């Protein structure tokens, strides 16, 4: 194909989603596209979910937390420009304007197709004193560097973590492992309330308390106080004050879409609305990753979920469709995730009870607890499984699992079950293998199907 007939594709933002888009295009359709990438950072494809591992394990080489780099993408044929901040988009003339943050030079570039993958930003609530020193976030590579340095600083003894979600709990474990005294503060009444059943989160909370972590619930942050050197010293809530040496804000993320407010159609949270091809309200602009509202199959709503797995999939879909004029449909997500903290392995997919209640979704819940392995297997543990289903259609809408043994693979199974509309009744006779090293003859997956139908069948081994 003649060079001039190739589509000129610009990818803005080259982290999980952007890297995936670049790779799928150039590894499969290099005869159809010319790819130019821009990113505001000096690195790409950083695994932010590995920050807690870096802190806890003391990784000597942070390079293992990157799965690609600019050189690799350049070898594929991409023109990659780091340290370039997006300033504006002229969709009528199909041009973008950027600033090189190192040289301050303003650059204008043109595209045939634009892929927006600028992701999300940590929420920075307007607390008084938020700009004091030693108040950190956990998102980007340079955030991680600061957190690792703090974990190694012997003068930092007490750390307040604001936010009891996934990131807050992971960081609490990692920093505790480095000998820090932890105060975890959340305005809700328990950790990970928006994701997991209280029965599950209580197991983790009990373990955290036994280890000496201070869990503070139902308190709102008012602000922070500092010393004469502007280092944070105190966290003020609506009920108490806490003396600290460092604060980590982990209260969530919001789509990084301020520049697109009057350019593309956004939802109420500011996420970019896309169709099944990851195409925005402008047919020549595609959007991917944390900045987009994607279809969630458990409730049929569209909203943003900041997960690397979702970002990678949306990047692949957009890359295929940009190169081939929309041939590949995105089938939505179930919001699947898992966590390994304080000796517990916990995973979820689909609808949570809290979401169902807050959005008036008709649902039923069935819960099952049993041993995961036969009595003659030494390392057996109790496993808890909860399913949420539609009482009318009987279709499974959500699943959660918790154990000290790893059963996270069950979440893969239930994610597919939600996508394909499997019913709670079909679990009773589903074909699952048995081997004592892995499960019991009637394991917890089939057992919960019986329980949902009030069928009693005692089977112990």
Report whether 415 contacts 310 (CB < 8 A). Answer: no
Burial class (CB in 10 A: 0-12, 13-18, 19+), 62: middle
Burial class (CB in 10 A: 0-12, 13-18, 19+), 84: buried
Report whether 346 contacts 200 (CB < 8 A). Answer: yes
Burial class (CB in 10 A: 0-12, 13-18, 19+), 77: middle
Q: What is the distance in angstroms between the CA of the first residue and the CA of the last residue of the chain?
A: 66
Helices (DSSP H) in 344-408: which residue ranges?
353-358
The encoded tokens of residue 39 equal 């990113």
Q: What is the DSSP letter of 289?
A: G
Which residues are CB-contacts of 385 (< 8 A; sequence separation ≥ 6)?
367, 368, 369, 399, 400, 401, 410, 444, 445, 448
How does strand 302-303 pair with strand 292-295?
Answer: antiparallel
Residue with tokens 């599950």: 200
Nearest to 215 by CA among 189, 194, 238: 189
The encoded tokens of residue 366 equal 């069935």
- Distances in Å between the Cα of 80 and the Cα atoms of 41, 72, 350, 406 are 12, 10, 37, 40
Measured CA to CA, the distance from residue 205 to residue 334 in angstroms comes to 26
CA 381 to chain centre: 28
Burial class (CB in 10 A: 0-12, 13-18, 19+), 267: middle
The encoded tokens of residue 126 equal 């307007």
Q: Return the axis-axis angle of helices 16-28 and 308-324, rounded to nearest 10°.
A: 40
The encoded tokens of residue 123 equal 């929420």
Task: List active site positions.
Answer: 16, 49
Which residues are CB-contacts of 17 (< 8 A; sequence separation ≥ 6)?
117, 119, 288, 289, 290, 311, 312, 314, 315, 318
The DSSP secondary structure of 386-397, one letter per residue, reads EEEE-TTT-BEE
């Amino acid at each position: 194909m003649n060079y001039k007939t190739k589509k000129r594709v610009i990818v803005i933002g080259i982290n999980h989603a952007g890297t995936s888009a670049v790779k799928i295009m150039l590894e499969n359709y290099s005869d159809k596209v010319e790819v130019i990438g821009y990113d505001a950072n000096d690195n790409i494809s950083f695994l932010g979910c590995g920050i807690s591992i870096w802190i806890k394990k003391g990784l000597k080489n942070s390079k293992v937390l990157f799965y690609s780099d600019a050189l690799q993408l350049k070898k594929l044929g991409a023109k990659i420009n780091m340290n370039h901040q997006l300033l504006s988009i002229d969709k009528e003339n199909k041009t973008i304007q950027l600033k090189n943050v190192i040289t301050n030079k303003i650059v204008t570039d043109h595209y045939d197709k634009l892929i927006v993958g600028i992701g999300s930003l940590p929420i920075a609530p307007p607390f008084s004193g938020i700009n004091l020193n030693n108040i950190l976030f956990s998102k980007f590579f340079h955030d991680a560097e600061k957190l690792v340095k703090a974990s190694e600083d012997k003068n930092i003894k007490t750390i307040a973590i604001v936010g009891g979600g996934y990131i807050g709990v992971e960081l609490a474990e990692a920093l505790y492992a480095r000998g820090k005294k932890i105060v975890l503060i959340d305005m809700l009444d328990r950790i990970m309330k928006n994701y997991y059943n209280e029965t599950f989160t209580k197991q983790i909370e009990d373990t955290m308390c036994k280890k000496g972590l201070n869990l503070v619930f139902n308190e709102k942050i008012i602000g922070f106080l500092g010393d004469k050197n502007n280092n944070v010293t105190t966290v003020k809530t609506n009920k108490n004050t806490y003396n600290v040496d460092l604060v980590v804000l982990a209260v969530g993320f919001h789509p990084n879409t301020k520049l697109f407010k009057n350019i593309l159609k956004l939802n109420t949270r500011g996420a970019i609305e896309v169709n099944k091809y990851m195409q925005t309200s402008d047919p020549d602009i595609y959007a991917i990753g944390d900045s987009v509202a994607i279809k969630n199959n458990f409730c049929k709503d569209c909203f943003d979920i900041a997960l690397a797995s979702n970002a990678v999939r949306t990047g692949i879909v957009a890359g295929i469709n940009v190169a081939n004029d929309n041939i590949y449909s995105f089938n939505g997500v179930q919001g699947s995730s898992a966590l390994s903290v304080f000796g517990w392995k916990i995973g979820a997919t689909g609808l949570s009870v809290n979401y169902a209640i807050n959005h008036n979704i008709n649902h039923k819940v069935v819960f099952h607890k049993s041993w995961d392995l036969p009595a003659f297997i030494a390392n057996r543990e109790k496993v808890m499984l909860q399913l949420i289903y539609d009482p009318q259609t009987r279709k499974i809408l959500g699943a959660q699992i918790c154990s000290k043994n790893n059963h996270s693979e069950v979440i893969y199974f239930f994610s597919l079950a939600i996508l394909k509309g499997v019913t709670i009744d079909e679990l009773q006779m589903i074909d699952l293998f048995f081997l004592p090293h892995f499960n019991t003859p009637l394991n917890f997956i089939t057992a919960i199907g019986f329980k949902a139908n009030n069928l009693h069948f005692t089977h112990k081994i």
